[in-house]
Amino acid sequence: MTDKPTIKDWQELADKEVKGRDLTWETPEGIAVKPLYTAEDASEKGIDPGLPGFGPFTRGVKASMYAGRPWTIRQYAGFSTAEESNAFYRRNLAAGQKGLSVAFDLATHRGYDSDHPRVVGDVGKAGVAIDSVEDMKILFDQIPLDEMSVSMTMNGAVIPCLAFYIIAAEEQGVSQEKLSGTIQNDILKEFMVRNTYIYPPAPSMRIISDIIGYTSEHMPKFNSISISGYHMHEAGATAVQELAFTIADGREYAKQAMATGLDIDAFAGRLSFFFGIGMNFFMEVAKLRAARTLWHRVMTDLGAKSERSKMLRTHCQTSGVSLTEQDPYNNVIRTTIEAMAATLGGTQSLHTNALDEAIALPTDFSARIARNTQIVLQEEAGITKVVDPLGGSYYVEALTDELVQNAWEIIERVGAEGGMAKAVADGWPKAMIEEAAAGRQAAVDKGDAVIVGVNKYRLPEEDAMETLDIDNAKVRQGQIARLEKMRADRDEAACQAALKALTDGAKGGGNVLALAVDAARQRASLGEISDAMEAVFGRYETQPTPVKGIYGKAYEGDARYAMVIEGVDAVSQRLGRKPKILVAKMGQDGHDRGANVVSSAFTDMGFDVISGPLFQTPGETRDLALAENVDAVGASSLAAGHKTLIPELINLLKEAGRSDIKVFAGGVIPAKDYEFLRKSGVVGIYGPGSNIVECAADILRLLGHNMPPEEEAAE
């Protein structure tokens, strides 16, 4: 009888096949992934994931998981007006969607009514415009709120939006105790990555406590917070960083609620989570299993007695940042892989991104494919037949354990240094994420990380794709008309009294959600409710400080990178100073990954980079460009305001006699808008997937340097 082969035997055979090449892969998390895992990898560490439905819930929060009930198909959507979004929701529900997830426009997120001068380019563009109860009633028209679970991605203007939802339900005949769903209400991650905040950290944390307190008393079926790692993922966080900071945020919120006198077991069962799912399939599966393990540990440490309090329940969304503008039908494949990772990892609900979301809001066509991806997984793939089908995989169990250990180290650091609120204020989590994002971008630009259709297997020519376009001016006019009518019809004295009570409550110890519900009932607008609190809390502002040295380090020894640096030196000698670029974020979009990566990379290449403040108007950007005497402005756009904001900036520079300042655009810009922007005076457009080194080379040419194109330089 032949002896059983050993690990040593396998190693020798593998070495022979690959001629001694090391097959170990180091992930962006710094985890060394071996080419083979065996039972020893689990047994040596004493790994025991337990059983589904039992703590630490590594294998799932329910004993039966999808065999008993599949995950909820909850597509995130909202655009234009409440009428348009309502019609879209009803079509999707009729086609098999099971829950609603509302995307609000940026004006709403930032607490501005549609008639505010700062949001001219933002109304209805990246979500639905909600100015009052009247809009919210239309949004949910013919959708029974006692039967439909509703998720709302809202953090900054969380108080008025939740108040409008409560009153819309009330006037539909649905009492608060029957409402089910989730409000995101996760402000710490806004200060870290997404930036759609309104108030400073301290009053923002008070708002969260008030919401948890109110919903615990009046809305027992409603999740008071969705602690979001998704936006960290999108900002460039590694799986370890996303895990650690999300769980640490959750711990901070729980401690904040307990500090107000709430019993942990009275509210913890209504805390939920939200994770992004990227393309490293097994890492994402392991991430969700590790998250449940870590949360069980955290809640046990905080004194929770109920096992329900220790369950981490999560919604997931496939990655937006993995979607590509180039060869976009590949995005269907990417979303499918990510959806499988989410479901095999044990999510409770899922949103699948549409193939065109790298460049625009989804069309009905692309939204149908995205939704059907989930339906096919539920109905055809057999995934729902077995509880935790990847449980017991040597690789998955070992990877889960490694993620738990690595994330726990960061969580312990957060605790040792005073908690997550202090860590956010100190800025080191944001810096860690930005370093990871810059490193990832450098790896893509160099071709070390392959993206099919972008930096490898690229099509020689791209077919045009039909995308959804929103007439921003028309939407805004309609919203303003509805606002004016509501203000004319309401009992003004009663409304102002309710708003004054809200301001007084913000000054004292009143529950601001309860007071906002009263104000919403009297037809106070979103901007008025936000202003009533801003009078006490103030409005928070911050200045981007991109990281340095990460991009340059990744490109050490690269000939093309060296050529760009030489070009920068040549321009500097001609000008008598470094070429100066302002990276501008206009409008109310706070997603700053792209802007920060560009700022970091250009700084490393020798440019003098001014990182403009978030949320600028075109006028404020012009003033900064003139004050700093820049050579060029790079306008970063991710929220579809480019056709309004960038031409206005160019005109303002012309009026100031500085048409010599070059304006280029980057970010999520559909190809069909390129010609419009060029005619408006934009000299360069760099969409998703653009190589930053080549962008820099292009800008050097725009500044008059004889920089050879990439193909000539390679000859």
Residue 76 among the catalytic residues: yes
pLDDT band at 640 (very low <50, low <70, confident <90, very high): low
Q: Is position 585 annotated as part of the catalytic site? A: yes
Mean pLDDT of 519-529: 98
Marked catalytic residue, from 62, 137, 591, 705: 591
Q: What is the band of 2 on the pLDDT scale with cuts at 50, 70, 90?
A: low
- 174: pLDDT strictly greater than 80: yes
Position with higher pLDDT, 256 vs 374: 374
**Is the separation of the CB atoms in 176 and 169 below 8 Å?**
yes
pLDDT at 1: 45
Max mean pLDDT range (146-160, 223-237, 398-412, 432-446):
398-412
Q: Which of 179-188, 238-247, 272-281, 467-476 has the lowest mean pLDDT?
A: 467-476
Q: In terms of pLDDT, which residue wins out, 666 or 515?
A: 515
Residues 668-691 have pLDDT tens digits of 888 888 999 999 999 999 987 788
Please give the pLDDT value at position 101. 84
Q: Between residues 641 and 684, which one has the greater pLDDT?
A: 684
Query: What is the mean pLDDT of the segment spanning 183-188?
Result: 91
Q: What whole-number distance in Å separates Cα of residue 485 and Cα of residue 508?
A: 33
From residue 29, how far is each of 26, 33, 227, 317, 406 by CA, in Å?
8, 10, 21, 20, 9
230 is catalytic: yes
Q: Residue 272 pLDDT > 70, yes or no?
A: yes
pLDDT (0 to 100) of residue 576:
93
Sign of the alpha-carbon dihedral angle for 465, 234, 296, 400: positive
Structure confidence at residue 523 (pLDDT): 97
pLDDT at 471: 74
How many other C-beta atoms can be found within 10 angstroms of the C-beta atom of residue 337?
17
Q: What integer pLDDT is reported at residue 509 of this predicted model? A: 85
Structure tokens at 370: 């995205």
Sort strands 349-351 and 580-584 into parallel, antiparallel or unpaired.
unpaired
Nearest to 663 by CA among 649, 675, 642, 679: 649
Structure confidence at residue 401 (pLDDT)? 95
Residue 671: predicted pLDDT: 81
Q: Which of 62, 109, 231, 287 is catalytic?
A: 231
pTM of the shown model: 0.89
Percent of the chain with pLDDT strictly greater than 90 = 68
* pLDDT tens, residue by residue, 576-585: 999 999 999 9
The per-residue pLDDT of the chain, averaged, comes to 91
Q: How far apart are CA 656 and CA 545, in angstroms?
A: 28
Tokens of 684: 């360069």
Report the amino acid identity of residue 458.
R
Q: What is d(CA 209, CA 308) in angstroms, rounded to the nearest whole number?
A: 20
Query: Looking at residues 354-375, what average pLDDT do you find?
Result: 88
Give the active site residue among 125, 585, 642, 643: 585
**Contact call for residues 106 and 588 (beta carbons, < 8 A):** yes
Q: Is the pLDDT of residue 107 over 80?
A: yes
Q: What is the pLDDT of residues 389-447, one digit of tens each?
A: 999 999 999 999 999 999 999 999 999 999 999 999 899 999 999 999 889 988 988 88
Q: Is the pLDDT of residue 545 over 50?
A: yes
b/e string for 449-487 if b means 16 or more Cβ within 10 A? Answer: bebebbbeeeeeeeeebebbebebeebbebbeebbeebe
Q: Please report the pLDDT score of residue 158 as a whole number.
A: 96
Which two tokens mark 84? 């348009």
Q: Which amino acid is residue 405, in one-letter code? A: Q
Catalytic residue (choose from 131, 135, 531, 589): 589
Predicted confidence band at 81 (pLDDT cuts at 50, 70, 90)? confident
Annotated catalytic residue: which of 76, 199, 214, 561? 76
pLDDT confidence of residue 715 = 46
- 589: annotated active-site residue: yes
Which whole number is the average pLDDT over 548-563?
88
Query: Could you tell me the CA-to-CA distances from 143 to 139, 239, 627 in Å, in that order?
Result: 9, 37, 52
Written as six digits, the tokens of 447 are 């071709």
Sign of the torsion angle spanned by Cα atoms 120, 235, 562, 456: negative
pLDDT at 556 over 90: no
Choice among 112, 197, 199, 230 that is catalytic: 230
Residues 259/263/269/270 CA torsion (nearest 10 deg):
-60
Tens digit of each residue's pLDDT (9 = 90 or more) over 482-519: 999 999 999 999 999 999 999 999 999 899 999 999 99
Confidence of residue 714 (pLDDT cuts 50, 70, 90): very low
Q: Which residues pair with 41 in a beta bridge?
A: none
Give the mean pLDDT of 355-370. 86
User: Of the candidates 343, 351, 339, which has an alpha carbon nearest to the alpha carbon of residue 386?
Assistant: 343
Rounded (10°) angle between helices 239-259 and 201-218: 70
Q: Compute the average pLDDT of residues 608-628.
A: 93
703: enclosing H helix or E strand: none
Q: Of 439, 490, 470, whose CA–CA distance to 29 is shortest?
A: 439
